[in-house]
Amino acid sequence: MKTRDKLNPLGIWFVGARGSIATMTTVCAHLIAESIIEPVGMLTERHPYTTLPFCALNALRFGGCDIRSEPLTRTLDTFIADQILPSHLYTYAAAAVSETEAAIDFVPDLVGCIRTEELYNVSGEVLLDGLRSALAKFKASIGGNPVIVVNLASTEPIIPGEQQLASFESWEQLDTFIRQSNARLPWGFLYACAALLEDCSYINFTPNIGAEIPGLEDLALRRQLPHVGKDGKTGETLLKTALAPIFEARALRVRSWVGYNILGNSDGQSLTNPAARDAKTRSKDQQIRNILRDSPDVCTKVGIDFVSSLGDWKTAWDFVHFEGILGTKMSLQLLWQGADTILAAPLVLDLIRLVEFAWRRGETGALRHLGAFFKSPIGCTNHDFWFQMRELQEHLGIEERIGE
Amino acid sequence: MKTRDKLNPLGIWFVGARGSIATMTTVCAHLIAESIIEPVGMLTERHPYTTLPFCALNALRFGGCDIRSEPLTRTLDTFIADQILPSHLYTYAAAAVSETEAAIDFVPDLVGCIRTEELYNVSGEVLLDGLRSALAKFKASIGGNPVIVVNLASTEPIIPGEQQLASFESWEQLDTFIRQSNARLPWGFLYACAALLEDCSYINFTPNIGAEIPGLEDLALRRQLPHVGKDGKTGETLLKTALAPIFEARALRVRSWVGYNILGNSDGQSLTNPAARDAKTRSKDQQIRNILRDSPDVCTKVGIDFVSSLGDWKTAWDFVHFEGILGTKMSLQLLWQGADTILAAPLVLDLIRLVEFAWRRGETGALRHLGAFFKSPIGCTNHDFWFQMRELQEHLGIEERIGE
Amino acid sequence: MKTRDKLNPLGIWFVGARGSIATMTTVCAHLIAESIIEPVGMLTERHPYTTLPFCALNALRFGGCDIRSEPLTRTLDTFIADQILPSHLYTYAAAAVSETEAAIDFVPDLVGCIRTEELYNVSGEVLLDGLRSALAKFKASIGGNPVIVVNLASTEPIIPGEQQLASFESWEQLDTFIRQSNARLPWGFLYACAALLEDCSYINFTPNIGAEIPGLEDLALRRQLPHVGKDGKTGETLLKTALAPIFEARALRVRSWVGYNILGNSDGQSLTNPAARDAKTRSKDQQIRNILRDSPDVCTKVGIDFVSSLGDWKTAWDFVHFEGILGTKMSLQLLWQGADTILAAPLVLDLIRLVEFAWRRGETGALRHLGAFFKSPIGCTNHDFWFQMRELQEHLGIEERIGE
Amino acid sequence: MKTRDKLNPLGIWFVGARGSIATMTTVCAHLIAESIIEPVGMLTERHPYTTLPFCALNALRFGGCDIRSEPLTRTLDTFIADQILPSHLYTYAAAAVSETEAAIDFVPDLVGCIRTEELYNVSGEVLLDGLRSALAKFKASIGGNPVIVVNLASTEPIIPGEQQLASFESWEQLDTFIRQSNARLPWGFLYACAALLEDCSYINFTPNIGAEIPGLEDLALRRQLPHVGKDGKTGETLLKTALAPIFEARALRVRSWVGYNILGNSDGQSLTNPAARDAKTRSKDQQIRNILRDSPDVCTKVGIDFVSSLGDWKTAWDFVHFEGILGTKMSLQLLWQGADTILAAPLVLDLIRLVEFAWRRGETGALRHLGAFFKSPIGCTNHDFWFQMRELQEHLGIEERIGE
């Protein structure tokens, strides 16, 4: 199998293309491809992953849609203010995104409107058609080459009736429902529909509803498309799913695991909406219970608050209260200070490569071997990070530590 | 293979038998065997390990030696003061240790003396003979049944010339050296010699020199005895070796990993001797560099200080400074508050069972599959805790998470 | 002025007399009076406060009311479980509370009922009469000696219409309102009314409404009674009000100060009621803004969650984000692990002495010099702990550090 | 009294003029004077201090000496790398320092040499003469206007025999000693001598020996010069001296207070010399014991380690173990992440103004009212930060919180 390179471009269509993660991903792809920066944080740039014929970074052509219309350089300015883009790289970054800004087809009117309460009443069918034609136009602009849709939008509030979508077993049933229902379909659902209907693979990096429902899995299988998600495991949850197995491995009993997150970027701002916050904490508060099977009564809590002075810097405190022999209570506390965008961008690039590679190998439907990348991995019932990493390596047929 | 039980007792000869860990191990073995407490912290009491015919806890007969002569109830008093033994269990604990106190043969004169600088000049040969006869007497007292020697002594200062012991390839050479040299042999070395010469398996839970040197490995193989060590991985180092792989798994670059430990028990007090502290920090400061192969320039530091008000409560701060894409520096801080004795006792019981099981299966020499239990595992070059846990499970032929 | 001692007893009537703080206060008063323990945590046992003729601890006679009827030894059992009462003191503590248990007049029926939603409709007047007669009976039982009522009840939900009580300028108006309104008067208000009407001084250690409203201040002045409150400043808020002045003193700009508290005692359990939690966080979230006048835009948040495994151990994380010159953002994080009951009991004893002393000196109405003891000090607009401590010393005419 | 302004310049002669703090102080003075940045962190720019006629920032003329010869813009580059100078201010900062770079008289040969072991043998008298002539030249260059010497050099190792200098009661005795001794006089001592002999006020911001010895106090009084020091209280020690009084104010017993500091700037690098580290920790480890008079047995420890990845970011963990009533042990942990240079520069500007103001008011010798600025304040035996702040305000005749 040959590596895909710039002669065989791969389109990347970001939902939320003007947001921090999409912009940072674009910048990093260019700067790594041009050897200006090192690919820190990317698995697929490291041995033994590099033995596989992943897509070259210079093959990527970025586009997408967003509800905002400020130029991408505005996003770069927030990177400078948040001290996640060193000032001496600003010019390179601006060059990288200007190329993208020009090449992509924004659909502000369409997507912008669905945020407004009144326009929720535009039927899902109409919105879906708009998304599909925007996507089709992008695909045509890169010569009909394959496209991966990557959802990087903000967390959506859970819409009443959202569960109903999961009740349809086949795409026909879902399709009929979309045409008959008048409104209020969750956007994440529409992005996933549009992607699959336009023959694009789909990566859902958000906690929003996506291709995990049976009707869309059915569609993905028929179209022979892979998809993966959901909710990128970048920081505190990564830590939790890698740390909780220690207690299990040592047969210690965890009594409580409570975590509080504060952050100040636009992702955090969207969480000031209580319904959105609820959706997010739900995605973040299931892993511990799943992993700690020896601690069935563990009390877990997850809090998220918006603290604007932090900018992109997610800060989190986790307090783990556990018991050893004789009932002795001990504690572990974690303090995490990470820049979400910096952690997410390399994961997005890895996922793009891994999904494209799966697609070339003919893998379809939910990609179960990519659970290590997600907080709520589709089709993967084990949240233990080390189990997930082994699944990834076994699926790819590589072994990181041979001979040791 | 049958489980060993009280009809076929197993002798446990503790070096440091009046210390916290030995006393706590004795208490826990009794209280678990009598179903007074739950076996929290023990792997071998949990599925799927329970499918293997490990030795029953009521088969254990405890004895040992110590340089102190206070009754074991004095140690129980410090447990109460340190709040690691609930007061309602005191009576049970006192019963458990009184049984032990009566059954064991203390050798205070012999072992007590070697601590004194002047008596260092007693020849190693003489000391070794004393240890051997004490051990032989204990073995006879339990009917000649097998005995495991478990070294739980305090950290020893590194003695000049200690390395020379590692230069002898065969037991004969070592033996000659012992007879010819006049003095200053490290005690840990003598314990290991005595154990193997008296046909006992050997567990070295300390950072002191033990059976890892070629001459003693040779002796163990000839006597068909297993041994394992060294330096039990109970708390902060456990965390480090389980957490460092996260950075490796996400290809993040660790720039610095510094840790400071404070503790107030007698183990901590012995570390106020700078040479002993040096020996301990050396054992604690190798894992990070071993695991983080993507971060070759990582700056590591380990500090240990004695803070008497903490009693048995080891408190540790770890500061991890790491870099993501674009060189952005982020941090993770860990705050650990654990009772060392509480964490160690179940591990000692697990090790006793695992070593006895290995011995019955005819395994000899250094047991490489038990690396997960040690800071400086003999014969195991990989400090990654998850790698070590897989080695354990593969060796035992069990799989914790089948079907997931 | 003479010290009050056991020949002139002082009655202490606790609201919440079976709770942790009341029980611990009773235990400590006895054990200090009998020289069994040292008076750690008490200002009034230390030079130069000891130069003032405060009431002797052996003068105190404890009583009170509670909605619970379990014996006080049950509360002692939770102290043992929470490791805040050393087991060797249990017998002394049981003796101390048995004496109290016998001496006090419980009113479970009356107070117990007002917790029940249906019985809210019992008119405030009826409840008030019940409280007054219980209090009168207690006063008679100690020979008509003076009594201080100390409210140690759990946090109450804020009742709609509570603010109306603050609109009455005189006691006559309040009195008329109580007689005419049929129900739903906050309990804290009724406790304060009962105390003042029965000629008792009043200490409000809770965040609940009390004697701070104009109508009750009027009553206190007429009856020539002192009162003080509200919401004891025991742990995290103490820290905040002592630390925030540093930033002010160094002219640093605080951008955000967010704190999360977790606790597991019954005080914490009552906070699982969202309305009660709201009342509590309101009391905890005003100090920072008051102190940091150079940081007008500071973002503050306070979270409280119930985590049962913690028992009496309040654990808190505070994250302070501040700015220096050139806009450089820095941070200070605090991790607090304190036993609320242990911290509160000595403060209650100090307050009892300070209020009794004020009463003997003829001070009436809200005692403004005791602001250092409260989160929401009545009549004290400055939350700076150091300012409050100076006010205390100036009022008492003592200077802690003369000559330095 | 009139404010000193640019028509009556004030010379500032930095020892360590190419270091971080001197450079940052120069940049901040210019940028504040030109209203480009706000004077965050400066007391003297805030009411009520602004009611006093302090020297205007545009009156300052900077010069000094250093053992390094790299241009000041090299130091600015480290500020950018350490993210303490926002990139958009670089041009302004470069302008500010270029002015300084030109105006000052560097003495690299003289000062550079004394670092070298061999040249230690140059007699102190010769070195002192060199320093004096450099200083005289600077003074002449600003028209003979007054000059303040500010020592911002790195921590010096303690030299054997350093204590002898403190044994001379008068300047004559010291002077004789200098002329007779051949070598090995501590540099800090020589800077202080040179300053006072050239009629300059002296600020010692380092932990090195300075004007605190009797012989130099004598010289300062005769020359009618004020001086102040030593070791600027910028971060962790500030916190400690502001926090420790809480425990005293609540009569809680502190059992242990241990702190570990890690930092990566050149100040940190100089501490890799064990003798220098010893000098620094000695200066940092006296305050707690001084403040906590109720806790005479408190165990204190201070560790400092160089961790290069941190750059200017001092990170510190403090663990405070304290006891309440019944001997219950509780803890407070502090995690501090501050940029030392950012914290120090405004203090240096405040000190310059306060010392110049004292000089104009005719105050001579050690300025005891400036203890709040120093870890080891000369002539101030009380380390309590709040006591020190009151002394400052009382001395200046201002009251920050009148009417509250």
Backbone angles phi, psi at A254, to 5 degrees: -85, 125
- Euclidean distance between CA atoms B95 and B87, whole angstroms: 14
- Euclidean distance between CA atoms C336 and D70, whole angstroms: 46
Tell me what pLDDT residue B114 has.
43
Chain D residues with beta carbon closer than 8 angstroms to that of A87: 80, 87
Q: Residues of A near D (CB-CB distance < 8 A)?
A: 80, 83, 87, 335
Tell me what pLDDT residue B154 has.
86
Residue of chain C with shortest Cα separation from A327: C81
At residue B403 the predicted structure's pLDDT band, cuts being 50, 70 and 90, is very low
Residue of chain A with shortest Cα separation from C82: A329
CB contact under 8 A, A242 and B246: yes
- The CA radius of gyration of chain D, in Å to the nearest whole number, is 21
Residue of chain C with shortest Cα separation from B333: C333
CB contact under 8 A, C87 and B83: no
For A72-109, the pLDDT digits (tens) are 999 999 999 999 999 999 999 999 999 888 666 655 44
| Residue among C216, C215, C189, C171 nearest C128 (CA) | C189
The position carrying tokens 């023959």 is: A199
Q: What is the mean pLDDT of each run of 10 residues along chain D (404 residues)?
A: 86 94 97 96 94 96 88 94 94 92 58 45 80 92 95 84 88 91 80 97 95 96 96 91 94 95 83 75 78 86 91 95 96 96 98 97 96 94 93 89 42
Tell me what pLDDT residue A124 has.
80
- Sign of the dihedral defined by the CA atoms of residues D55, D59, D65, D66, in that order: positive
Helices (H), B250-295: 266-270, 274-284, 287-291
- Indicate the residue of A45, A323, A401 with minimum beta-carbon distance to B40: A323
Tell me what pLDDT residue B282 has.
75
- Indicate the residue of D255, D301, D321 with minimum beta-carbon distance to B305: D301
Q: What is the 3-state secondary structure (H, E, C) of chain C?
A: CCCCCCCCCEEEEEECCCCHHHHHHHHHHHHHHCCCCCCCCCHHHCCCHHHCCCCCHHHEEEEEECCCCCCHHHHHHHHHHCCCCCHHHHHHHHHHHHHHHHHCCCCHHHHHHHCCHHHHHCCHHHHHHHHHHHHHHHHHHCCCCCEEEEECCCCCCCCCCHHHHHHCCCHHHHHHHHHHCCCCCCHHHHHHHHHHHCCCEEEECCCCCCCCCHHHHHHHHHHCCEEEECCECCCHHHHHHHHHHHHHHCCCEEEEEEEEEEECCHHHHHCCCHHHHHHHHHHHCCHHHHHCCCCCCCEEEEEEEECHHHCCEEEEEEEEEEECHHHCEEEEEEEEEEEHHHHHHHHHHHHHHHHHHHHHCCCCEECHHHHHHECCCCCCCCCCHHHHHHHHHHHHCCCCCCCC
Chain C residues with beta carbon closer than 8 angstroms to that of A301: 305, 307
At residue A118 the predicted structure's pLDDT band, cuts being 50, 70 and 90, is very low
**Beta-bridge mates of residue B15:** B65, B151
CB contact under 8 A, A309 and C329: yes
Distance from CA of A129 to the nearest CA of B (A): 37
CB contact under 8 A, A246 and B385: yes
Tell me what pLDDT residue C311 has.
93
Tell me what pLDDT residue B404 has.
40
Tell me what pLDDT residue A235 has.
86
Give the full edge-to-edge strand order of the sheet including B365-366. Answer: B60-65, B10-15, B147-151, B201-204, B226-229, B365-366
Chain A residues with beta carbon closer than 8 angstroms to that of B325: 24, 28, 37, 39-42, 342, 345-346
CB contact under 8 A, A87 and D83: no
Angle at D129 between CA D124 and CA D131, to 5 degrees: 95
CB contact under 8 A, C325 and D40: yes
E strand or H helix at D134: helix D124-141
For B227-259, the pLDDT digits (tens) are 999 999 998 889 999 999 999 999 999 999 999
Among A292, A301, A307, which would you mutate to test the C interface (most chain C Cβ atoms within 10 Å of its Cβ)?
Answer: A307
For A206-257, the pLDDT digits (tens) are 999 999 999 999 999 999 999 999 999 998 889 999 999 999 999 999 999 9
Chain A residues with beta carbon closer than 8 angstroms to that of C256: 262, 307-310
Q: Under DSSP, is residue A143 helix (H, G, I), strand (E, B) or coil?
A: coil
DSSP-assigned states of every residue in D248-313: HHTTPEEEEEEEEEEE-SHHHHHTTSHHHHHHHHHHHSSHHHHH-TT-TT-EEEEEEEE-GGGTTE
Residue of chain A with shortest Cα separation from B391: A404
Residue of chain A with shortest Cα separation from B346: A325
CB contact under 8 A, A330 and B346: no
Mean pLDDT score of chain B: 89
Tell me what pLDDT residue A402 has.
39
For B4-13, the pLDDT digits (tens) are 888 899 999 9
Q: From the CB of residue D12, how many other CB atoms can be counted at a distance below 10 Å?
A: 30
Between residues A389 and D104, the one the model is more confident about = A389
Q: Residues of B near D (CB-CB distance < 8 A)?
A: 255-256, 258, 260, 262, 299, 301, 303, 305, 307-310, 315, 317, 319, 321, 329, 333, 335
CB pairs under 8 A between A and C: 56
CB contact under 8 A, C331 and D339: no
For B108-136, the pLDDT digits (tens) are 444 443 444 444 556 788 888 888 998 99
Between residues A286 and A84, the one the model is more confident about = A84
- Indicate the residue of A260, A301, A308 with minimum beta-carbon distance to C299: A308
What is the pTM for the complete model shown? 0.94
CB contact under 8 A, B37 and A337: no
Mean pLDDT score of chain C: 89
Residue of chain B with shortest Cα separation from A339: B330
Among A258, A277, A295, which would you mutate to test the C interface (most chain C Cβ atoms within 10 Å of its Cβ)?
Answer: A258
Residue of chain C with shortest Cα separation from D383: C404
> What is the residue type of C193?
C
Q: What is the 3-state secondary structure (H, E, C) of A291-332?
A: HCCCCCCCEEEEEEEECHHHCCEEEEEEEEEEECHHHCEEEE
CB contact under 8 A, B252 and A37: no
pLDDT at B295 over 50: yes
Chain B residues with beta carbon closer than 8 angstroms to that of C87: 80, 87
Among B80, B83, B87, which would you mutate to test the C interface (most chain C Cβ atoms within 10 Å of its Cβ)?
Answer: B87
For C319-329, the pLDDT digits (tens) are 999 999 999 99
- What the block records as the tokens of A240 is 């939790």
Distance from CA of B87 to the nearest CA of C (A): 6
- What the block records as the tokens of A242 is 């890698």
At residue B350 the predicted structure's pLDDT band, cuts being 50, 70 and 90, is very high
Distance from CA of D289 to the nearest CA of A (A): 29
Distance from CA of C83 to the nearest CA of B (A): 7
